[in-house]
Every structure is written in structure tokens, then in C-alpha cells.
Amino acid sequence: MTLLTSWPDSGPATVLRRTCDPAEIAAALKPLGVRYEQWPVREDLPHDADGERVSAAYRPQIDRLSAEEGFTTVDVLGLHPGDDPEYPVRAKAAREKFLQEHTHDDDDEVRFFVSGSGVFYLHVGAEVHAVLCERGDLLGVPRGTTHWFDMGTRPSFTAIRFFHEEDGWIGNFTGSAISSRFPDFDSLAAGHRRDGGTV
């Protein structure tokens, strides 16, 4: 179940909004220019399906969104614990790359969660909005939006990524330490589970 939590950007002591209702989440994010929608989940896909199988399973949705938004490049990114001895190193490096506040000049950041979960933190105006995305969620963060992403200390997710530019992900880091002042993925997910949500 998706979770949206909003705080003042001064810190998380005051919760301005907390909701798991998809319609409320979409309505809250729309004025920020953020696209949020849910796609039907493919139950026949294993959580760690490879990119070719994921792309084939979601081909109608991929083609529709690419036509609507003019995306030229689509890929699949997966990171799951397993038998790979390099997983701890790869997981740590991937998490650290996205965990610092940044923007994108030339592209939106559009992700569909095929499996697993992650949190996008949107720093817009004087507020921070944490969107805990799970399987079936699509989030589109417009270019220029200050944000960061946390996949947790033990990442497990597969996501379809959409790009307008062939260069893919290029971040402009702000140098701010704001991400360290807000609850991380592990804290949000644990609290969400206690409240009856799934992660």
C-alpha cells in the first residue's frame, strides 16, 4: 500500500499529511506537477524477473506512456538480495548515489515499480513529501524538482525507467544535507508495516 507523508522542510517533527489513499495521493501530488498512477500488477512475474520478461509483460503500458510523453528510452533496473556475492557492495553504492538531494535539468524521473518498494522524497517549496512507492505504482517527478530517493539498507526492487534523453540518469546535486534530517526508507517502511501497510 502506497504511503504519502508530508512535513515542513525544517524537519519531521510536524506531520502535515499522511495518507494511503491513492486518490488523495494523486490529488496532493498533481499541483506539484508529479504524476502518480497505479497500473495492474502482473502476478505471473517473479519479483526478480529479468528486463526482457518485464518489458514484454508491461509492453501495452510502456507503449502507451511512451507515446503520451515522448519517451525515447526505456529500461529495467533490478536489485535484489540473493546468491550474488557482490550484492552488498552494489546495493550500498546504488543507495548512496540516489540518497543525496539533487535535480535533473534535461529529463523527468519516471519510474514504475514492478516489484519491491522505494521512497521518493520531493522537496518543493517549504515542504518535503515522501512517497513510499510499492509494486504497481508509477511516479513521475518533473525535471527541475529537487528530490532524493532511498531504496533502504537492503534494497529489493525492480523498476521500469523512462527517459526522454538517451544519456539516462544525470543528477545535479545540491550539496544539502537535508536528506539526513528526515526518516529514511527503513524507518518509514517499518512504521507503515506497524500501521497495517505492506512493504
Tens-digit pLDDT profile for residues 110-143: 999 999 999 999 999 999 999 999 999 999 999 9
Quote the CA–CA distance of 110 and 65 in Å, as a whole number. Answer: 10
Residue range 161-190: average pLDDT?
90
147 annotated ligand-binding residue: yes
* pLDDT tens by residue, 63-77: 999 999 999 999 999
Phi/psi for 92 (5° steps) reads -65, -45
* pLDDT tens by residue, 35-50: 999 999 999 998 889 9
pLDDT value of position 138: 98
pLDDT above 70 as % of the chain: 96
Q: How many CB atoms lie within 10 A of CB 37?
A: 15
The grid cell for 146 is 529537487
Nearest Cα neighbor of 2 from 49, 48, 38 is: 38
pLDDT value of position 193: 73
Quote the CA–CA distance of 139 and 58 in Å, as a whole number. Answer: 16
109 annotated ligand-binding residue: yes
Cα 130–Cα 47–Cα 156 angle in degrees, nearest 5: 45
**Measuring CA to CA, how many Å separate 123 from each of 64, 140, 170, 181?**
29, 14, 18, 12
pLDDT value of position 165: 77
Residue range 79-90: average pLDDT?
88
192 annotated ligand-binding residue: no
43 annotated ligand-binding residue: no
Nearest Cα neighbor of 197 from 109, 121, 155, 137 is: 137
* pLDDT tens by residue, 146-157: 999 999 999 999
pLDDT value of position 127: 98
pLDDT value of position 196: 63
Domains of the chain: 3-194 (2.60.120.10)
pLDDT value of position 147: 97
Residues sharing a CB contact under 8 Å with residue 39, sequence separation 6 or more, in sequence order = 58, 61, 112, 136, 138
Q: Which is higher by pLDDT, 193 or 123?
A: 123
pLDDT value of position 106: 82
pLDDT, averaged across the chain: 93
